[in-house]
Amino acid sequence: MTPTPAPRASVASLVARLGRWSAGRGPLYLLLAARFRQLIDEGVLRPGAALPPDRALAAALAVGRTTVVAAYEALRQEGRIVRRQGSGTRVADVALAPPDERLAAGDATSNPLFLHLLEPPDGVILLSCASPEGAPPEVARAYAGVAFPAEGDLGYHPAGHPALRAALADRFTARGLTTAPEQILVTTGAQQALALLTRHLVAPGDPVLVEAPTYPGALDLFREAAGVPLPVPTGPDGVDVDTAVRVLAAHRPAFAYVISRFQNPTGGVLPPLPARRLAEAARAHGVPLVDDEVLAELPLDGSGFPGPPPLAALDGAADVITLGSLSKVVWGGLRIGWLRGPAPLVARLARLKAVHDLGTDVPAQLAAVTLVAGLDALRARRVRELRARHDLLRAELARSLPSWHCPPVRGGQTLWARLPLGDAVSFAQVALRHGVAVLPGAVVDPTGASTRCLRLHFLSSPAELTEAVRRLTAAWRAYSVESPHGLDRADRTPEAVDAGG
């Protein structure tokens, strides 16, 4: 199967940038115009940028065409957009904000995950952002026990504090992958580890092998570097290795990025034999293989430490670069991640990291040493909690939305749900107006496919998950009852729909 080239910026990416535009009071067209006004004035939508046709945007937003027409007309009267027969709708050429306040096109993410984090709380249940809510008590205890370095330590450790590098190396070794501290780079979350790799390995126009669908934060980094995603299908058994091997041979990408265990968003697991074949092919073609293990220690079957060895521990996989983090097992606010790889690569990335931040926060690293030592008990508790919430969310969805396809996953923290009809981008807009944010499949799939899929996390409390399904059920009723795409009732308020109005 030949991979499909990634599409250019789509209506879906614009809809993602609009964020929670419908939150607030007043007619939808005024709320939509206000959000466009903000994006234009901030320079996210630049002068001359083409805007979607009325009907295409209305369908993606799950609103009537008159809502988009009225919003565009308000912006036209303000001079922010121009509309001409035959040439469509574009942002006006006049810059409304001072140059130093305007953003370059590459600075504006369309990733709903990040955009929802930037929005103020407004009562929306965020099933789009998969991260544990609140720090466990072990974090406070670890910080309270930090012994600050004695005189003579400047506090700058670009490669990571020696104590944490040693602790992480020991944990890899205990999992069956012999590791020296010099092979560990401590980063400010796994996102920074991937960002450093991308900056080091990817030049503009370089291809990068990715799974389809995949973690959206990775796609943002590759696009920022002007890399070209080469998508390869993935499923319950992980990435399609046959296709991946052909892509490696034909394109020699800058690197290959996979999530071999509890893939985000599908939950897939790559078996050992195909994994070894993938690693051997990458090595044969001189392509760095990056394995994102951020979710690897969250098996829902309750299997304890050490569990299966990392992909890099397989025969022929010694050069695999492994990413990890405490964000999913412990807490996202503890910005501790790492990269494990060949020592020369780690040294080069440490020099690159030094240019950007001189090193990750030292007290956080010292607290992480304690947390890594006690990680097995914390991990076991997190897994028990996730397993119960996984089962609850699937049961609630089966009871209230039986037409949705929501297979169980073996680990991680997300379900990959498939809608029976319609488009997930437009349904996500209806869901937002009912108070729940979900991640549409199209924005995590570089092929632009997965249009009927949603990523739903099961990290929230049981009460919040139950309420989220209640809101999704009301949103689905509003979206699907009267037409295949729910457009007949899309401009009505959630209250009117719930009341049968």
- pLDDT tens digits, one per residue of 194-215: 999 999 999 999 999 999 999 9
Distance of alpha carbon 453 from alpha carbon 470, whole angstroms: 19
Query: Looking at residue 338, what is its pLDDT?
Result: 98
Query: Looking at residue 135, what is its pLDDT?
Result: 93
Say yes or no to pLDDT of 226 above 80: yes
Q: State both tokens at 31.
A: 């709320």
Q: How confident is the model at residue 10 (pLDDT cuts 50, 70, 90)?
A: confident
CB atoms within 10 A of CB 406: 18
- pLDDT tens digits, one per residue of 104-160: 444 455 566 666 666 665 788 999 888 888 899 999 999 999 998 877 788 899 999
Phi, psi of 442, deg, nearest 5:
-60, -30
Say yes or no to pLDDT of 306 above 90: no
Range of lowest pLDDT (259-268, 288-297, 312-321, 450-459): 312-321
| Nearby residues of 102 by Cβ (< 8 Å), 6 or more positions away | 42, 43, 46, 95
Q: Bigger pLDDT: 155 or 274? A: 274
What is the chain's mean pLDDT, rounded? 88
Range of lowest pLDDT (93-97, 142-146, 215-219): 93-97
Query: Looking at residue 7, what is its pLDDT?
Result: 38
Distance of alpha carbon 388 from alpha carbon 215, whole angstroms: 24
Say yes or no to pLDDT of 95 above 80: no
- pLDDT tens digits, one per residue of 365-413: 999 999 999 999 999 999 999 999 999 999 999 999 999 999 999 999 9
Query: Looking at residue 84, what is its pLDDT?
Result: 86
Query: Looking at residue 487, what is its pLDDT?
Result: 44
How far is Cα of residue 105 from the mean position of the Cα atoms in its chain?
A: 20
Range of lowest pLDDT (77-81, 292-296, 348-352, 490-494): 490-494
* Preceding omega of 231 cis (within 30 degrees of 0): no
Could you tell me which residues are beta bridge partners of residue 210?
231, 257
- pLDDT tens digits, one per residue of 31-47: 999 999 989 988 889 99
Say yes or no to pLDDT of 228 above 80: yes
Say yes or no to pLDDT of 265 above 90: yes
Judge contact between 160 and 359, C-beta under 8 A. yes
Q: Compute the half-sphere exposure of residue 394: CA atoms within 13 Å on the CB side of its CA.
A: 15
Query: Looking at residue 435, what is its pLDDT?
Result: 93
- pLDDT tens digits, one per residue of 158-189: 999 999 999 999 999 999 999 999 999 999 99
Say yes or no to pLDDT of 490 above 50: no
Query: Looking at residue 122, what is its pLDDT?
Result: 75
Query: Looking at residue 117, what is its pLDDT?
Result: 64
Query: Looking at residue 42, what is its pLDDT?
Result: 85
Helix, coil or strand: residue 39: helix
Q: How confident is the model at residue 320 (pLDDT cuts 50, 70, 90)?
A: very high
Range of lowest pLDDT (25-29, 88-92, 231-235, 427-431): 25-29
Query: Looking at residue 97, what is its pLDDT?
Result: 44
Say yes or no to pLDDT of 493 above 70: no
Q: State both tokens at 50.
A: 């083409």
How large is the greatest C-alpha to C-alpha distance in the chain, in angstroms? 72
What's this model's pTM, rounded to 2 decimal places? 0.85
Q: Bigger pLDDT: 292 or 85? A: 292
- pLDDT tens digits, one per residue of 450-463: 999 999 999 999 99
- pLDDT tens digits, one per residue of 416-432: 999 999 999 999 999 99
Query: Looking at residue 138, what is its pLDDT?
Result: 96
